[in-house]
Structure 1
Protein backbone atom coordinates (compact mmCIF):
# COMPACT_ATOMS: atom_id res chain seq x y z
CA UNK A 1 0.00 0.00 0.00
CA UNK A 2 1.46 3.36 -1.04
CA UNK A 3 1.68 6.37 1.24
CA UNK A 4 -0.99 8.23 -0.77
CA UNK A 5 -3.40 5.30 -0.56
CA UNK A 6 -2.73 5.05 3.16
CA UNK A 7 -3.80 8.67 3.66
CA UNK A 8 -6.84 8.26 1.44
CA UNK A 9 -7.86 5.04 3.18
CA UNK A 10 -7.77 6.64 6.60
CA UNK A 11 -9.57 9.77 5.44
CA UNK A 12 -12.35 7.75 3.78
CA UNK A 13 -12.78 5.34 6.70
CA UNK A 14 -15.43 7.52 8.37
CA UNK A 15 -17.45 7.87 5.17
CA UNK A 16 -17.30 4.14 4.56
CA UNK A 17 -18.74 3.49 8.03
CA UNK A 18 -21.44 6.14 7.82
CA UNK A 19 -20.03 8.59 10.37
CA UNK A 20 -18.42 12.02 10.26
CA UNK A 21 -15.28 11.05 12.16
CA UNK A 22 -13.41 8.02 13.46
CA UNK A 23 -12.03 8.56 16.95
CA UNK A 24 -9.07 6.35 17.84
CA UNK A 25 -8.44 5.86 21.56
CA UNK A 26 -6.10 3.83 23.69
CA UNK A 27 -7.13 0.70 25.55
CA UNK A 28 -8.64 -2.67 24.80
CA UNK A 29 -7.22 -6.15 24.93
CA UNK A 30 -4.96 -5.93 21.86
CA UNK A 31 -2.45 -3.31 20.72
CA UNK A 32 -2.66 -3.02 16.94
CA UNK A 33 0.24 -1.89 14.75
CA UNK A 34 -0.47 0.77 12.12
CA UNK A 35 -0.61 -1.79 9.31
CA UNK A 36 -3.42 -3.64 11.10
CA UNK A 37 -5.29 -0.38 11.79
CA UNK A 38 -5.31 0.25 8.04
CA UNK A 39 -6.96 -3.14 7.60
CA UNK A 40 -9.75 -2.08 9.93
CA UNK A 41 -8.61 -3.89 13.09
CA UNK A 42 -9.53 -2.38 16.46
CA UNK A 43 -10.93 -3.13 19.92
CA UNK A 44 -14.63 -2.43 20.28
CA UNK A 45 -14.52 -2.43 24.09
CA UNK A 46 -12.25 -0.20 26.15
CA UNK A 47 -12.55 1.86 29.31
CA UNK A 48 -10.93 4.67 27.28
CA UNK A 49 -13.86 4.55 24.86
CA UNK A 50 -16.26 4.89 27.80
CA UNK A 51 -14.36 7.92 29.08
CA UNK A 52 -13.92 9.72 25.76
CA UNK A 53 -17.45 9.03 24.56
CA UNK A 54 -18.57 10.64 27.82
CA UNK A 55 -16.42 13.68 27.07
CA UNK A 56 -17.88 14.01 23.55
CA UNK A 57 -21.46 13.70 24.87
CA UNK A 58 -21.02 15.95 27.91
CA UNK A 59 -19.41 18.76 25.96
CA UNK A 60 -21.88 18.69 23.10
CA UNK A 61 -19.91 17.36 20.16
CA UNK A 62 -22.35 17.74 17.28
CA UNK A 63 -21.08 15.23 14.71
CA UNK A 64 -21.55 11.48 14.40
CA UNK A 65 -18.47 9.53 15.47
CA UNK A 66 -17.30 5.95 15.81
CA UNK A 67 -14.83 5.07 18.58
CA UNK A 68 -12.05 2.53 18.00
CA UNK A 69 -9.55 1.49 20.66
CA UNK A 70 -6.10 0.55 19.40
CA UNK A 71 -4.37 -0.61 22.58
CA UNK A 72 -1.24 1.25 23.64
CA UNK A 73 -0.59 4.94 23.20
CA UNK A 74 2.22 4.19 20.75
CA UNK A 75 -0.32 2.50 18.46
CA UNK A 76 -1.66 5.96 17.59
CA UNK A 77 1.72 7.66 17.02
CA UNK A 78 1.73 7.28 13.22
CA UNK A 79 -1.84 8.59 12.98
CA UNK A 80 -0.87 11.59 15.12
CA UNK A 81 2.04 12.34 12.78
CA UNK A 82 -0.27 12.31 9.76
CA UNK A 83 -2.80 14.54 11.54
CA UNK A 84 -0.16 17.08 12.57
CA UNK A 85 1.08 17.22 8.98
CA UNK A 86 -2.44 17.76 7.66
CA UNK A 87 -2.27 14.65 5.48
CA UNK A 88 -5.47 12.94 6.67
CA UNK A 89 -9.03 14.07 7.37
CA UNK A 90 -12.06 12.88 9.35
CA UNK A 91 -9.83 11.24 11.94
CA UNK A 92 -9.40 12.12 15.62
CA UNK A 93 -7.01 10.65 18.19
CA UNK A 94 -7.92 10.82 21.90
CA UNK A 95 -5.02 9.86 24.15
CA UNK A 96 -3.43 10.19 27.57
CA UNK A 97 -1.26 13.21 28.25
CA UNK A 98 1.11 10.98 30.22
CA UNK A 99 4.14 13.19 30.98
CA UNK A 100 4.24 14.78 27.52
CA UNK A 101 3.75 18.22 29.07
CA UNK A 102 7.15 17.85 30.74
CA UNK A 103 9.02 16.26 27.84
CA UNK A 104 7.59 18.48 25.06
CA UNK A 105 6.20 15.45 23.24
CA UNK A 106 2.64 16.70 22.72
CA UNK A 107 1.53 16.88 19.09
CA UNK A 108 -0.25 20.15 18.30
CA UNK A 109 -3.47 19.58 16.37
CA UNK A 110 -7.16 20.18 17.14
CA UNK A 111 -7.72 16.60 16.00
CA UNK A 112 -5.45 15.20 18.71
CA UNK A 113 -7.14 15.32 22.11
CA UNK A 114 -5.21 14.81 25.33
CA UNK A 115 -6.48 14.12 28.82
CA UNK A 116 -6.30 17.05 31.21
CA UNK A 117 -3.82 15.23 33.46
CA UNK A 118 -1.71 12.10 33.19
CA UNK A 119 -4.70 9.97 32.16
CA UNK A 120 -8.48 9.76 32.53
CA UNK A 121 -8.03 8.23 36.01
CA UNK A 122 -6.74 11.57 37.28
CA UNK A 123 -10.12 13.15 36.50
CA UNK A 124 -12.36 10.32 37.63
CA UNK A 125 -10.85 9.29 40.98
CA UNK A 126 -11.33 12.59 42.76
CA UNK A 127 -11.53 12.32 46.53
CA UNK A 128 -15.09 13.66 46.79
CA UNK A 129 -16.31 11.31 44.06
CA UNK A 130 -14.76 8.38 45.94
CA UNK A 131 -16.76 9.43 49.01
CA UNK A 132 -19.91 9.49 46.89
CA UNK A 133 -19.08 6.06 45.49
CA UNK A 134 -18.66 4.57 48.95
CA UNK A 135 -21.86 6.21 50.14
CA UNK A 136 -23.78 4.67 47.23
CA UNK A 137 -22.64 1.16 48.17
CA UNK A 138 -23.52 1.09 51.86
CA UNK A 139 -26.88 0.87 53.58
CA UNK A 140 -26.64 3.88 55.87
CA UNK A 141 -28.41 7.20 55.47
CA UNK A 142 -25.13 9.10 55.63
CA UNK A 143 -21.44 8.34 55.30
CA UNK A 144 -20.01 7.71 58.77
CA UNK A 145 -17.45 10.17 60.11
CA UNK A 146 -15.08 7.20 60.50
CA UNK A 147 -15.28 6.45 56.77
CA UNK A 148 -14.81 10.06 55.77
CA UNK A 149 -11.73 10.15 58.00
CA UNK A 150 -10.29 7.07 56.26
CA UNK A 151 -10.58 8.69 52.83
CA UNK A 152 -9.30 12.07 54.04
CA UNK A 153 -6.21 10.54 55.66
CA UNK A 154 -5.54 8.29 52.67
CA UNK A 155 -5.66 11.14 50.18
CA UNK A 156 -3.75 13.52 52.47
CA UNK A 157 -0.82 11.09 52.54
CA UNK A 158 -1.00 10.72 48.76
CA UNK A 159 -1.04 14.50 48.26
CA UNK A 160 1.97 14.88 50.55
CA UNK A 161 4.00 12.45 48.41
CA UNK A 162 2.70 13.44 44.96
CA UNK A 163 5.39 15.95 44.04
CA UNK A 164 8.18 13.60 45.12
CA UNK A 165 6.66 10.77 43.05
CA UNK A 166 6.24 12.99 40.00
CA UNK A 167 9.79 14.32 40.24
CA UNK A 168 11.18 10.79 40.52
CA UNK A 169 9.23 9.63 37.50
CA UNK A 170 10.36 12.56 35.35
CA UNK A 171 13.96 12.04 36.46
CA UNK A 172 13.88 8.49 35.13
CA UNK A 173 11.83 9.36 32.04
CA UNK A 174 14.39 11.88 30.77
CA UNK A 175 16.84 9.00 30.97
CA UNK A 176 14.57 6.83 28.86
CA UNK A 177 13.31 4.68 31.75
CA UNK A 178 9.77 4.24 33.06
CA UNK A 179 9.72 3.87 36.83
CA UNK A 180 6.42 3.76 38.74
CA UNK A 181 4.48 4.07 35.50
CA UNK A 182 5.89 0.75 34.33
CA UNK A 183 4.20 -1.05 37.23
CA UNK A 184 0.74 -2.00 38.34
CA UNK A 185 -0.60 0.68 40.67
CA UNK A 186 -1.61 -1.90 43.27
CA UNK A 187 2.05 -2.59 43.99
CA UNK A 188 2.33 0.75 45.79
CA UNK A 189 -0.92 0.77 47.76
CA UNK A 190 -1.32 -0.88 51.13
CA UNK A 191 -5.02 -1.72 51.22
CA UNK A 192 -5.22 -4.18 54.09
CA UNK A 193 -5.67 -1.41 56.62
CA UNK A 194 -5.88 2.34 56.04
CA UNK A 195 -5.12 2.65 52.28
CA UNK A 196 -1.78 4.43 51.93
CA UNK A 197 0.97 4.76 49.34
CA UNK A 198 3.69 2.30 50.31
CA UNK A 199 6.79 4.47 49.95
CA UNK A 200 9.09 1.55 50.85
CA UNK A 201 7.97 -0.08 47.59
CA UNK A 202 8.83 3.11 45.75
CA UNK A 203 12.29 3.16 47.36
CA UNK A 204 12.85 -0.47 46.43
CA UNK A 205 11.92 0.27 42.82
CA UNK A 206 14.32 3.22 42.69
CA UNK A 207 17.14 1.03 43.99
CA UNK A 208 16.35 -1.59 41.35
CA UNK A 209 16.59 0.96 38.54
CA UNK A 210 19.04 3.66 39.65
CA UNK A 211 21.91 2.05 37.71
CA UNK A 212 20.02 2.94 34.51
CA UNK A 213 20.34 6.67 35.16
CA UNK A 214 22.87 8.63 33.16
CA UNK A 215 25.19 10.60 35.42
CA UNK A 216 25.15 13.39 36.34
CA UNK A 217 21.41 13.26 37.02
CA UNK A 218 19.67 16.55 36.26
CA UNK A 219 16.22 18.01 35.62
CA UNK A 220 17.62 21.27 34.31
CA UNK A 221 15.35 22.89 31.75
CA UNK A 222 12.23 20.96 32.79
CA UNK A 223 9.40 23.02 34.23
CA UNK A 224 8.05 21.22 37.29
CA UNK A 225 5.58 24.00 38.07
CA UNK A 226 2.53 21.87 37.29
CA UNK A 227 0.01 20.24 39.62
CA UNK A 228 1.54 16.98 40.89
CA UNK A 229 -1.93 15.56 41.61
CA UNK A 230 -3.04 16.23 38.05
CA UNK A 231 0.05 14.57 36.60
CA UNK A 232 0.48 11.75 39.09
CA UNK A 233 0.43 8.23 37.66
CA UNK A 234 -3.23 7.58 36.87
CA UNK A 235 -3.12 3.88 37.69
CA UNK A 236 -1.69 4.73 41.10
CA UNK A 237 -4.55 7.14 41.77
CA UNK A 238 -7.01 4.47 40.63
CA UNK A 239 -5.43 1.86 42.91
CA UNK A 240 -5.71 4.22 45.88
CA UNK A 241 -9.36 4.98 45.15
CA UNK A 242 -10.31 1.33 44.70
CA UNK A 243 -8.41 0.41 47.88
CA UNK A 244 -10.51 2.96 49.80
CA UNK A 245 -13.74 1.55 48.37
CA UNK A 246 -12.72 -2.03 49.12
CA UNK A 247 -11.45 -1.25 52.61
CA UNK A 248 -14.54 0.66 53.71
CA UNK A 249 -17.27 -1.23 51.86
CA UNK A 250 -15.59 -4.63 51.95
CA UNK A 251 -13.76 -4.81 55.26
CA UNK A 252 -15.57 -2.29 57.47
CA UNK A 253 -19.07 -2.84 56.06
CA UNK A 254 -18.63 -6.54 55.33
CA UNK A 255 -19.77 -6.58 51.70
CA UNK A 256 -18.19 -9.74 50.31
CA UNK A 257 -18.16 -9.21 46.54
CA UNK A 258 -16.92 -5.96 44.97
CA UNK A 259 -16.31 -6.45 41.22
CA UNK A 260 -13.52 -4.10 40.15
CA UNK A 261 -14.94 -3.42 36.70
CA UNK A 262 -18.30 -2.49 38.18
CA UNK A 263 -16.71 0.08 40.49
CA UNK A 264 -14.63 1.55 37.64
CA UNK A 265 -17.66 1.86 35.39
CA UNK A 266 -19.70 3.39 38.19
CA UNK A 267 -16.95 5.91 39.00
CA UNK A 268 -16.78 7.05 35.36
CA UNK A 269 -20.55 7.49 35.24
CA UNK A 270 -20.38 9.39 38.53
CA UNK A 271 -17.71 11.69 37.12
CA UNK A 272 -19.87 12.57 34.13
CA UNK A 273 -22.96 13.20 36.24
CA UNK A 274 -20.82 15.68 38.16
CA UNK A 275 -19.42 17.12 34.90
CA UNK A 276 -22.93 17.82 33.60
CA UNK A 277 -23.32 20.21 36.52
CA UNK A 278 -19.76 21.57 36.70
CA UNK A 279 -18.13 21.78 33.29
CA UNK A 280 -14.34 21.58 33.01
CA UNK A 281 -12.94 24.44 30.93
CA UNK A 282 -10.14 22.23 29.64
CA UNK A 283 -12.44 19.66 28.01
CA UNK A 284 -14.86 22.35 26.90
CA UNK A 285 -12.01 24.05 25.04
CA UNK A 286 -10.60 20.99 23.28
CA UNK A 287 -14.03 19.81 22.13
CA UNK A 288 -14.87 23.34 21.05
CA UNK A 289 -11.62 23.55 19.06
CA UNK A 290 -12.41 20.21 17.40
CA UNK A 291 -15.90 21.38 16.37
CA UNK A 292 -14.44 24.61 14.97
CA UNK A 293 -11.64 22.91 13.01
Structure 2
Protein backbone atom coordinates (compact mmCIF):
# COMPACT_ATOMS: atom_id res chain seq x y z
CA UNK A 1 0.00 0.00 0.00
CA UNK A 2 2.72 2.48 0.97
CA UNK A 3 4.88 1.89 -2.09
CA UNK A 4 2.54 3.34 -4.74
CA UNK A 5 2.48 6.88 -6.12
CA UNK A 6 1.16 9.44 -3.68
CA UNK A 7 1.56 13.00 -2.50
CA UNK A 8 2.12 14.15 1.07
CA UNK A 9 1.43 17.88 0.56
CA UNK A 10 -2.08 18.60 -0.71
CA UNK A 11 -5.06 20.68 0.41
CA UNK A 12 -6.92 17.42 0.99
CA UNK A 13 -4.26 16.27 3.45
CA UNK A 14 -4.34 19.58 5.33
CA UNK A 15 -8.12 19.25 5.75
CA UNK A 16 -7.96 15.68 7.05
CA UNK A 17 -4.94 16.44 9.29
CA UNK A 18 -6.90 19.26 10.91
CA UNK A 19 -9.88 16.99 11.55
CA UNK A 20 -7.79 14.14 12.93
CA UNK A 21 -5.76 16.53 15.11
CA UNK A 22 -8.96 17.99 16.55
CA UNK A 23 -10.95 14.79 17.00
CA UNK A 24 -8.09 12.36 17.70
CA UNK A 25 -5.43 14.39 19.53
CA UNK A 26 -2.38 12.45 20.64
CA UNK A 27 -2.61 9.89 17.84
CA UNK A 28 -0.03 9.79 15.06
CA UNK A 29 -1.09 9.27 11.46
CA UNK A 30 0.82 9.27 8.17
CA UNK A 31 -1.31 10.99 5.53
CA UNK A 32 -0.97 10.16 1.84
CA UNK A 33 -3.01 11.61 -0.98
CA UNK A 34 -3.24 8.90 -3.62
CA UNK A 35 -5.11 10.91 -6.19
CA UNK A 36 -8.37 9.54 -7.46
CA UNK A 37 -11.53 8.45 -5.72
CA UNK A 38 -11.20 5.14 -7.55
CA UNK A 39 -7.84 4.47 -5.89
CA UNK A 40 -9.15 5.37 -2.42
CA UNK A 41 -12.28 3.26 -2.98
CA UNK A 42 -10.08 0.30 -3.90
CA UNK A 43 -8.24 0.60 -0.59
CA UNK A 44 -11.53 1.11 1.27
CA UNK A 45 -12.91 -2.09 -0.28
CA UNK A 46 -9.84 -3.96 1.00
CA UNK A 47 -10.31 -2.44 4.47
CA UNK A 48 -13.93 -3.63 4.53
CA UNK A 49 -12.94 -7.13 3.33
CA UNK A 50 -10.27 -7.35 6.04
CA UNK A 51 -7.32 -7.74 3.66
CA UNK A 52 -5.93 -4.35 4.74
CA UNK A 53 -5.58 -3.31 8.36
CA UNK A 54 -3.97 -0.43 10.24
CA UNK A 55 -5.27 1.92 7.53
CA UNK A 56 -8.04 4.49 7.37
CA UNK A 57 -9.47 5.50 4.00
CA UNK A 58 -10.91 9.00 3.88
CA UNK A 59 -12.73 10.37 0.86
CA UNK A 60 -15.33 12.74 -0.44
CA UNK A 61 -18.90 11.49 -0.08
CA UNK A 62 -19.87 12.43 -3.64
CA UNK A 63 -23.17 10.61 -4.26
CA UNK A 64 -22.52 7.41 -2.26
CA UNK A 65 -25.33 8.03 0.23
CA UNK A 66 -27.80 9.06 -2.49
CA UNK A 67 -27.15 6.00 -4.68
CA UNK A 68 -26.58 3.58 -1.79
CA UNK A 69 -22.95 2.64 -2.40
CA UNK A 70 -21.37 4.04 0.79
CA UNK A 71 -19.17 1.59 2.65
CA UNK A 72 -19.98 0.98 6.30
CA UNK A 73 -16.77 0.43 8.27
CA UNK A 74 -15.17 2.40 11.13
CA UNK A 75 -11.96 2.81 9.10
CA UNK A 76 -13.73 4.20 6.02
CA UNK A 77 -14.60 7.85 6.54
CA UNK A 78 -16.52 10.15 4.23
CA UNK A 79 -16.95 13.90 4.23
CA UNK A 80 -20.30 15.09 5.55
CA UNK A 81 -21.12 16.92 2.33
CA UNK A 82 -20.32 16.17 -1.29
CA UNK A 83 -16.65 17.07 -0.76
CA UNK A 84 -14.41 18.45 1.96
CA UNK A 85 -14.61 21.87 0.35
CA UNK A 86 -18.38 21.82 1.02
CA UNK A 87 -17.73 20.85 4.64
CA UNK A 88 -15.46 23.87 5.13
CA UNK A 89 -18.28 26.32 4.41
CA UNK A 90 -20.79 25.40 7.05
CA UNK A 91 -22.88 27.94 8.90
CA UNK A 92 -20.37 27.87 11.77
CA UNK A 93 -17.38 28.39 9.48
CA UNK A 94 -19.14 31.28 7.74
CA UNK A 95 -20.02 32.87 11.08
CA UNK A 96 -16.45 32.48 12.37
CA UNK A 97 -15.17 34.10 9.17
CA UNK A 98 -17.63 36.96 9.66
CA UNK A 99 -16.43 37.44 13.27
CA UNK A 100 -12.78 37.28 12.20
CA UNK A 101 -13.14 39.79 9.37
CA UNK A 102 -15.45 42.29 11.06
CA UNK A 103 -14.32 41.97 14.66
CA UNK A 104 -17.99 41.80 15.66
CA UNK A 105 -18.96 40.97 19.22
CA UNK A 106 -20.14 37.36 19.52
CA UNK A 107 -22.79 38.23 22.09
CA UNK A 108 -24.19 41.15 20.10
CA UNK A 109 -24.17 39.19 16.82
CA UNK A 110 -26.17 36.14 17.92
CA UNK A 111 -29.08 37.26 15.74
CA UNK A 112 -26.72 37.20 12.73
CA UNK A 113 -25.61 33.68 13.71
CA UNK A 114 -29.24 32.57 13.97
CA UNK A 115 -30.02 34.08 10.58
CA UNK A 116 -27.01 32.35 9.00
CA UNK A 117 -28.10 29.03 10.51
CA UNK A 118 -31.62 29.50 9.13
CA UNK A 119 -30.33 30.43 5.66
CA UNK A 120 -27.98 27.43 5.50
CA UNK A 121 -30.78 25.10 6.64
CA UNK A 122 -33.24 26.51 4.10
CA UNK A 123 -30.70 26.26 1.28
CA UNK A 124 -30.00 22.65 2.24
CA UNK A 125 -33.72 21.87 2.08
CA UNK A 126 -34.19 23.77 -1.18
CA UNK A 127 -31.40 21.97 -3.01
CA UNK A 128 -31.82 18.46 -1.52
CA UNK A 129 -34.13 17.12 -4.24
CA UNK A 130 -31.97 18.50 -7.08
CA UNK A 131 -28.84 16.99 -5.52
CA UNK A 132 -30.52 13.58 -5.10
CA UNK A 133 -31.76 13.65 -8.70
CA UNK A 134 -28.34 14.78 -9.90
CA UNK A 135 -26.85 11.73 -8.18
CA UNK A 136 -29.08 9.54 -10.32
CA UNK A 137 -28.34 11.53 -13.51
CA UNK A 138 -24.56 11.35 -12.92
CA UNK A 139 -24.82 7.57 -13.26
CA UNK A 140 -26.30 8.13 -16.72
CA UNK A 141 -23.57 10.60 -17.78
CA UNK A 142 -25.89 13.59 -17.35
CA UNK A 143 -26.39 16.29 -14.72
CA UNK A 144 -28.55 19.20 -13.60
CA UNK A 145 -25.41 21.15 -12.82
CA UNK A 146 -22.99 22.53 -15.37
CA UNK A 147 -19.67 21.80 -13.68
CA UNK A 148 -17.86 24.10 -16.10
CA UNK A 149 -20.22 26.99 -15.19
CA UNK A 150 -21.44 26.18 -11.67
CA UNK A 151 -23.69 29.22 -11.46
CA UNK A 152 -25.89 27.78 -14.24
CA UNK A 153 -28.54 25.21 -13.37
CA UNK A 154 -30.41 23.51 -16.20
CA UNK A 155 -33.64 22.45 -14.49
Please say if 1:60 is aligned against 2:24.
yes
Aligned residue runs from structure 1 range 114-193, under 5 A = 114-138=78-102, 141-142=104-105, 148=112, 152=116, 155=120, 158-159=123-124, 161-180=126-145, 183=147, 187-188=150-151
- Asked if 2 retains the 8 angstrom alpha-carbon contact of 1:103 and 1:174, the reply is no
**Using a 3 Å threshold, how does the CA distance of structure 1 residues 132 and 118 change in structure 2: closer, same or farther?**
same
The equivalent residue for 1:274 is none
Structure 1 counterpart SS, 2:32: strand
Higher RCO (C-alpha under 8 Å, 6+ residues apart): 1
Structure 1 counterpart SS, 2:56: strand
**Using a 3 Å threshold, how does the CA distance of structure 1 residues 159 and 112 change in structure 2: closer, same or farther?**
closer
Q: Which ranges of structure 1 fall in alignment gaps of 5 or more residues?
A: 1-9, 14-37, 189-200, 207-293
- Asked if 1 retains the 8 angstrom alpha-carbon contact of 2:40 and 2:58, the reply is no
Please say if 1:47 is aligned against 2:6.
no
**Using a 3 Å threshold, how does the CA distance of structure 1 residues 135 and 93 change in structure 2: closer, same or farther?**
same
Using structure 2 for the length normalisation, give the TM-score: 0.74
Q: Distance in 2 between matches of 1:159 and 1:91?
A: 33
Q: Which ranges of structure 2 fall in alignment gaps of 5 or more residues?
A: none
Displacement of 1:131: 2.8
Greater CA radius of gyration, 1 or 2?
A: 1
Structure 2 counterpart SS, 1:183: coil
The equivalent residue for 2:73 is 109
Q: Distance in 2 between matches of 1:178 and 1:82?
A: 31
Structure 1 counterpart SS, 2:30: strand
- Asked if 2 retains the 8 angstrom alpha-carbon contact of 1:95 and 1:113, the reply is yes
Using structure 1 for the length normalisation, give the TM-score: 0.43
